[in-house]
Structure formats: C-alpha cells, structure tokens
Amino acid sequence: MKIAFNRFSLLVFSTFIVLGCKESKTAVSEANNQKPNIIFIMSDDHAYQAISAYGHGLNNTPNIDRIAKEGAIFNRGYVTNSICAPSRAVMLTGKHSFVNGKVDNISPFNWDQDNFAKSLQKAGYQTALVGKIHMDGLPQGFDYSNVLPGQGEYYSPDFIENGVKKQIPGYVTNVTTDIALNWLKNKREKNKPFLLLYHQKAPHRTWMPEEKYLTLFDNKTFDPPANFFDDYEGRPAAAQHEMGIFKDMDLVYDLKMLDKDGTIKTKYRPYFQKRYDRMTDVQKTAWDAYYDPIIADFKAKNPQGKELALWKFNRYMQDYLRTIQSVDDGVGEVLDYLKENGLEENTIVVYTSDQGFYLGEHGWFDKRFMYEESFRTPILVKYPKEIKPETVIDALVQNLDFAPTFLDYAGVEIPKDIQGESFRKLVSGEASEWRDAIYYTYYEFPGEHHVKRHYGVRTDRYKLIHFYYDIEQWELYDLEKDPSEMKNIYNDPSYTSVKENMHQQLENMRTKYGDSDELNATNLENYLKAKGNNH
C-alpha cells in the first residue's frame, strides 16, 4: 500500500507540475498578447477613388472594404509629401520630410534615426517588413525583412531577404502576400505580439496585371472625370506639368503597345521591353494572346486627338484597376488567416497607400501636386476591441499620425520629437478636439513629371498653396464651392479676409513643424547636387 500510494502521489504531483507549466506558458502568452498585434498594409499609388468603400463606382474591392465595414473609414486621410519614398519615411518616423531628411526620391534615408518599429521592437514586439519600402540600406527596426529593391518588378521580382538578394518566380503581388503569410504562419514567435508591415508594389506604374485578371473590365467603358480636358486657366503651375494622359502617357511603357515589328517607337519602349522580358514563356503567351489583338486594332484605327486621349484613358484605367484586384485578393488572404487563427480580435489592421493618384482628374496620371486626388490617401482601420464597425472619420488625419497611433495602442511612450498625433481616441469616439489644419511640402523639381516645388496648408474648407523656386505663384481654393479645384481665388477681393487667415495658418504650420525658406534652399541645393551625381 505504501508503494502504491507513493506512485499515486508521484503521478498526481507530476500532473500538477505539467499542468502548472502549461498554465504558466499560457498565462505568459496571453499576457504578452494583451498588447495588440499590428498589420500595416500599404499599397503604392492606390487612389481612394479606386476603393469601392469610398463609393466612386470604378471597381469592386470587397476585401479592403471589409476593413471599413468591420472598423473605420477615413474620408480625410492625407499625406505630407505625395511621392513614394518620402511618404514611407514619414510613416516610419512620424516626422515631416524636412525633419527626417527624406525630402525626395533621390536623397538618402538615414536608417539610424528612430522609427516606430524600433520602439515596438524594444517593447517586446516581433517585427517584420515585407514588400516595397523604396529606401536603400538594410531596414532597421525589423527582426525580419524581405523587400523589393527600389520600385520592384511585377513579374519574376527580385527580393532582398535580410540583406540577401534573390529572384523569385511569379507575380509580385502574390509573392509579397505569400512571404507575409509565411512569416505569420512559420517564422514569428507565437508568444509575442507582432508588427507586420505588408507593403505592395501595385498599383504603381507600369500597371502590369496578373494573368488571371487580363480581361477584367474588358466590357466596361470608363467615363473620364468632368475636368479631364482641363485648360488650367488661372493656374500656371498646374499647366506646366508633364503628367498628362494625352500628352505624356507612353504608348508602350504605360499602355503595353509593344508591337512585334517595332513600328510603335516611343521614348520609354526599351524600359518596358525589359519588364516584358522578365516573364516566363508561359506568361508571355498569355500576355501576347491578350494584348496583340489590342495592338493590331489600335494600329488599324490609329486614333487621334480627343479620340486618342479617351482611348488612352480607358486603357490606363483598365490596367491600373486590374492590378488593384490582385492587391485586394491578398488583403482577403491575410484577413482570413487572422480570423481562422483566432487573431482577429486582438489585431489592428490598417490599409492605406503611400499617397493618392490621379485617375484622369485634370487630365492627369501620377501624383505630387497638393491638389486633392494626390494629397488625399485612403485610410481604413479595424480593431474589434476598440473600433465600432462602420465608423466614419471626417477629421483631418495624415500619414504623420501612424507612428504615434501604433505606439499609443501598444502602450509605448510616444517620443516628444514625433510630430504626428495618435488618432486612437478619434476612432474610438473619445477625442474632444483635433487639429484644424494640415501642412504639405513637395520638393522633387526639376525632375520627372515637372511638378513645381511647393508647400501649403489645408483647413476644413480652404487650401492655400505656394509654388516657388523658378516660379512665384499662390493659389487659394474654396473646397466647399470648388471641390475639383478649378478656380484659383487668390486674387478674388471677396476672399481677402480668407486669404489673410490662410496665410496666418500657413505661418503657424511652418513655425509649429519647424519649416522655413532657409530649409527649402538647403534641400534644393542637396537635391541638385545628388541629382548631378546620379547622372
């Protein structure tokens, strides 16, 4: 009996120890995961007009829309500098371009400076960056990085995994999603809260669709915006652009008219040829089967003038929107993973773009200007623990605000030199006050697309822009009466008091954030020097 009792006692004691260890591990895991996980999804050049949740009717993005349906949609999300790399630097640092040093696509980014990923890493988060970042150097603040070099390629893309470059077969949007899901499933430590920056190349130029979406929108004719044939009266800075769909959009590079006999000769044809050559034979066969008949039809009809402008617009819209469909698929895969693995409730999911984009407004493609379509960016956020479904935010929010918001949710102290503000209380409905004006800068001139250097301020109703360097031009818009920004009212006597107030707002913004004409001169000097060295 004594021996049996001891064995029984040992069994009970051992069971108690094992259960105790399991409970202890579970408790540790749950304690760690009280901090929310964060998935920050950023696409490139995704216009808010091309997300169906915003109601423009151009396309259908059911998975991105899920974020709005289950969380919040921001109707007034903006960037501080509408161009790829500087926007990402602002997102990481929570500081304006003239503070973090990345004012244009040419200037280097100093990875040694603080960013919100570094702060979360120090607070116990496991961190990963996957996809496009468009900044040289090994990303800092991430336990794992697998990024595209530069702009990246749509087919057979190169990736740099923790500093090692390799080519991966497939379509870039799907490859990026697969890498992100692989990290979530197999590479992260499951007992730690995580931060995943999941960044897509699409829908950046040259808008090369995935094979399965080549025929999407074939039966749809897109009506151009009302100001597609804008004459830029009273807006000389806008008139000097090189981003017009009719005048500047390349037939081969942008619109895929890569004819086999080479009769369509364009400035950027060789650059698109290189992208086409990255495809496998199977991919080329599918591509040619779709585009060759379009090329033949175009050459036979030889459209001119207004007819050519509208043809270009529709070809552009079809390919641009097709690339977005693959992005939406990837978002769906990630959301499904969270739901299927019990992570949905405790994970913040953000969908945004590095800036907005013109879909024919003012006759344009691309971005850069402070006008609404490129200044404004989509922002959708869900976090079931704090954000009610179908929340609508109309406050002025900027990409400057992502860094402090993530730190706020994670319970990490927000550094005093961060210039953005956490919008956590804004989306939960607890904010009693919020900013009434936002500030913008743009520096990359002389350069691609010929958009002049400018800075400006936007309030709830008005916008003041100052174009400078080789032009001296002020523009003022009443966004309530003129949402398409067609009438510059800067010299309208009836707006004298508004103009004075906006000039004061602008000076307040520049003082608040530490911008100045002297900084502009320094940034110009550095840009011209770097541009000269690169050539």
Weakest-pLDDT range from 13-17, 182-186, 403-407, 437-441: 13-17
- pLDDT > 70: what percent of the chain? 93
From the list 217, 531, 181, 465, the residue with the least C-alpha distance to 332 is 181
Residue 531: per-residue pLDDT: 83
* 328 and 460 within one domain: yes
- Is residue 5 in some structural domain? no
- Is residue 3 in some structural domain? no
| Predicted confidence (pLDDT) per residue in 335-365, tens digit | 999 999 999 999 999 999 999 999 999 999 9
- Is residue 69 in some structural domain? yes
- Is residue 9 in some structural domain? no
- Confidence class of residue 26 from pLDDT cuts 50, 70 and 90? very low
Distance of CA 500 to CAs 491, 497, 508, Å?
Answer: 11, 5, 12
Flag whether pLDDT at 1 surpasses 80.
no
Cβ pair 105, 86 in contact under 8 A: yes
- The dihedral over CA atoms of 18, 23, 27, 28, expressed in degrees to the nearest 10, equals 10
β-sheet bridge partners, residue 397: 77
* 343 and 303 within one domain: no
- Per DSSP bridges, beta strands 158-161 and 473-478 are unpaired
Contacts of 238 (CB under 8 A, 6+ apart): 230, 232, 362, 369, 371
* 296 and 250 within one domain: yes
- 284 vs 87: CA distance, rounded Å: 34
Radius of gyration (C-alpha) of the chain in whole angstroms: 25
* 166 and 57 within one domain: yes
- 319 vs 339: CA distance, rounded Å: 31
Amino acid, single-letter form, for residue 329: D
- 431 vs 244: CA distance, rounded Å: 42
Number of domains in the chain: 2
- Is residue 401 in some structural domain? yes
| Predicted confidence (pLDDT) per residue in 46-72, tens digit | 999 999 999 999 999 999 999 999 999
Q: Can you give the pTM of this predicted structure? A: 0.93
Amino acid, single-letter form, for residue 446: P
* 453 and 376 within one domain: yes
Residue 17: per-residue pLDDT: 39
* 345 and 287 within one domain: no
Strand order across the 194-199 sheet? 164-167, 158-161, 144-148, 126-132, 194-199, 37-43, 347-353, 379-382, 72-74, 391-393
- 12 vs 60: CA distance, rounded Å: 60
- 318 vs 187: CA distance, rounded Å: 37
Residue 492: per-residue pLDDT: 98
What average pLDDT score do residues 238-257 get? 97
Flag whether pLDDT at 9 surpasses 70.
no
Backbone angles phi, psi at 383, to 5 degrees: -160, 95
β-sheet bridge partners, residue 144: 128
* 236 and 364 within one domain: no
Residue with tokens 């920050």: 40
Burial class (CB in 10 A: 0-12, 13-18, 19+), 94: buried
Q: What would the two tokens of residue 475 be?
A: 């523009």
* 148 and 50 within one domain: yes
- Is residue 219 in some structural domain? no
Residue 534: per-residue pLDDT: 63
Flag whether pLDDT at 413 surpasses 50.
yes
| Positions of E strands within 133-261 | 144-148, 158-161, 164-167, 194-199
Residue 507: per-residue pLDDT: 98
- Give the domain-ending residue among 286, 315, 344: 315
Q: Which helix (H) or strand (E) holds 98?
A: helix 97-100
Instruction: Specify whether the backbone of 170 is left (phi greater than 0), alpha (psi in -120 to 50) or beta.
Output: left
Burial of 53-67, coded b for 16+ CB within 10 Å and e otherwise, reads: bbeeebbebebbbbb
Domain of residue 74, CATH code: 3.40.720.10
Residue 431: per-residue pLDDT: 82
- pLDDT > 90: what percent of the chain? 92
* 471 and 526 within one domain: yes
Q: What would the two tokens of residue 284 be?
A: 């080329």
Strand order across the 473-478 sheet? 437-442, 454-459, 462-467, 473-478
Residue 402: per-residue pLDDT: 98
From the list 244, 234, 381, 249, the residue with the least C-alpha distance to 315 is 249
| Mean model confidence pLDDT for the chain | 93
What average pLDDT score do residues 501-510 get? 98
What average pLDDT score do residues 158-166 get? 96
The CA-based angle 446-367-504, given to 5 degrees, is: 80
- Is residue 21 in some structural domain? no
Which range marks the domain in which residue 64 is found? 36-208+316-534
| Predicted confidence (pLDDT) per residue in 301-340, tens digit | 999 999 999 999 999 999 999 999 999 999 999 999 999 9
Angle (deg, nearest 10), helices 62-70 and 305-340? 60
Flag whether pLDDT at 378 surpasses 90.
yes
Contacts of 77 (CB under 8 A, 6+ apart): 48, 352, 376, 377, 378, 379, 397, 398, 399
Q: What would the two tokens of residue 480 be?
A: 């309530």
* 282 and 157 within one domain: no
* 524 and 445 within one domain: yes
Residue 29: per-residue pLDDT: 43
Residue with tokens 């409730």: 345
What average pLDDT score do residues 462-468 get? 98
CB-based contacts of 267-276 (< 8 A; 24+ apart in sequence): 272/206, 275/153, 275/154, 275/155, 275/206, 275/208
Q: What would the two tokens of residue 450 be?
A: 């010929």
What average pLDDT score do residues 375-403 get? 98
- Give the domain-ending residue among 291, 315, 339: 315
Flag whether pLDDT at 177 surpasses 60.
yes
- Give the domain-ending residue among 289, 315, 341: 315
Residue 532: per-residue pLDDT: 77
- Confidence class of residue 432 from pLDDT cuts 50, 70 and 90? confident
Flag whether pLDDT at 394 surpasses 50.
yes
Residue 2: per-residue pLDDT: 35
* 291 and 330 within one domain: no
- 71 vs 349: CA distance, rounded Å: 9
Residue 353: per-residue pLDDT: 98
- Is residue 424 in some structural domain? yes
